[in-house]
Amino acid sequence: MGEERGLVLVVEDEPTISDLERLYLSGAGFGVHVESDGRRALDAVGRLRPAAIVLDIGVPGLDGIELCRTLRGRGDWTPVVFVTARDDEVDRIVGLELGADDYVTKPFSPRELVARVRGLVRRSSGTPAAESRRLGPVSLDAGRRRVEVDGRRVDLTATEFDLLDHLMSQPGHVFTREQLLSSVWGVADYSSSRTVDVHVAQLRMKLGEAAGVVRTVRGVGYSATDGDG
């Protein structure tokens, strides 16, 4: 049963926390492998091909930020959830700029962590009812999980891809941050709505000259347009 949802690599050097993460993730049907050192974790990624990584920023050997940077530099886009003891926006933003998909801050709810991992694994595996969308210079192929701007491929994390897909599914419709958290992240912890803003900023940066496709509606949320509005 543990392998039905895929394997989650937990990278955590505090045994009480890694034991808790293992307990809840395995209870949700995931296989779980734990590493307490960043360098060993990097080897484990290549060996085990996990469906997702729960990555503590402060692990020894190779810290979480460098581990994520190394993976993304290799073209490995395995979904990553950062776990950090630092309640600091800079850490969160730096982590997401490196290609992390989500984050939780200690102390965290194990059920919330499971919900976020489950959502990431579901999103990164693709959807049966895949569609292709185009808005201005941006084309999105949900089946291949591929985004292009004027024919140039843009590499997105699983979360960035699904955020763009959700916005493009209803051009012109304004989604609140709470609606995006619920539909894209699959969580109801609206106190973390700042993460939506961070992901939108990263998405726009990657879209480059087509960044205007994602529009801010001040005081409300975000919508997708053809880039001219």
DSSP letters for 106-127? SS--HHHHHHHHHHHHHHHT--
Task: State how far the Cα of 84 lies from the Cα of 73, in Å rounded to an integer.
Answer: 22
| pLDDT at res. 128 | 45
State the Cα torsion 194-198-201-202 to the nearest 10°: -160
Q: Where in the chain is the domain with CATH 3.40.50.2300?
A: 7-124
| pLDDT at res. 107 | 85
| 198: amino acid identity, one letter | V
HSE-CB of 182 using CA atoms within 13 angstroms: 7
CATH number of 7-124: 3.40.50.2300
9 closest CA partner among 1, 43, 66: 43
| pLDDT at res. 228 | 53
Asked whether the beta carbons of 50 and 7 are under 8 A apart, the reply is: yes
Question: Which residue ranges in the chain fall short of pLDDT 50?
Answer: 1-4, 128-129, 229
Which segments within the chain are labelled E, that is strand? Answer: 7-11, 31-35, 52-56, 80-84, 102-105, 132-135, 138-141, 146-149, 152-154, 175-176, 214-217, 221-224
Q: Where in the chain is the domain with CATH 1.10.10.10?
A: 132-224
| pLDDT at res. 116 | 86
> What kind of architecture, by CATH, is found in domain 132-224?
Orthogonal Bundle (1.10)
Between strands 7-11 and 52-56, the pairing is: parallel
pTM of the predicted structure, to 2 decimals: 0.68
